[in-house]
Chain A
């Protein structure tokens, strides 16, 4: 089954404790992206990757890191989480050249930082 998986699905952590949210896709997509979703603000892009070893900042990259060592995986790293990073996070993937650039989203990770 074609899918994007994220782990963990739910996480409660404390300020400053480094964490990683994993994202994996099995569709051989070149493009992957991380978003956060907050009430009233919609989905905002954190980082994206056009292919292996190619990453770039989105609209709200502060406090986050990513890596793309393999095509299928795109982990999101919070080196020192803060309460303002409490949010719902989605990973997405898509394949270039396919209209309408449909993005496939993972099930989401609900993060709470206390």
Chain B
């Protein structure tokens, strides 16, 4: 079983739609969680962190469910510019910035 699993998609949605991605992780002791965004053939960039209480940044909402070991990303009012691959990232114990595990990514395509 992969340490971090994501549905590869693609998710094809019209502008204005709401779309949600899930990501599951295998190590229950994982401490920190993130979503990164990667445009085609470009470098990944941090989109947002995922906190136990959930967090929101504009149209983006991230949630963590430790009991079920999954994190989610919700995008409301999708824009064409949201088209990208979204990488789920988990920090493995014992913690520290040297062990981030990246999922293979979920591709989102927003169309007019």
Nearest-Cβ distance from residue A64 to partner chain B, whole angstroms? 17
Option from B42, B91, B98 in Cβ contact (under 8 Å) with A108: B42
Q: In the bound complex, how far is the Cα of B43 from the Cα of A98, in angstroms?
A: 20
| B49 CB contacts on chain A under 8 angstroms | 99-100
Mark each residue of chain B from 24 to 58: 1 if its CB lies under 8 Å from any CB of chain A, else 0.
00000000101000000111111001000000000
Least CB separation from A38: chain B residue: B104
The A contact surface, by secondary structure, is: strand
Option from A31, A42, A106 in Cβ contact (under 8 Å) with B97: A31
Interface size, chain B (Cβ < 8 Å): 22
| A96 CB contacts on chain B under 8 angstroms | 96-97
* Number of chain A interface residues as a range: 20 to 34
| A34 CB contacts on chain B under 8 angstroms | none
**Docked complex: A56-114 residues within 8 A CB-CB of B:** 56, 88, 90, 94, 96, 99-103, 105-108
Mark each residue of chain A from 27 to 63: 1 if its CB lies under 8 Å from any CB of chain B, else 0.
0000101010000111111001010000010000000
Option from A40, A50, A106, A107 in Cβ contact (under 8 Å) with B98: A50
| A44 CB contacts on chain B under 8 angstroms | 102
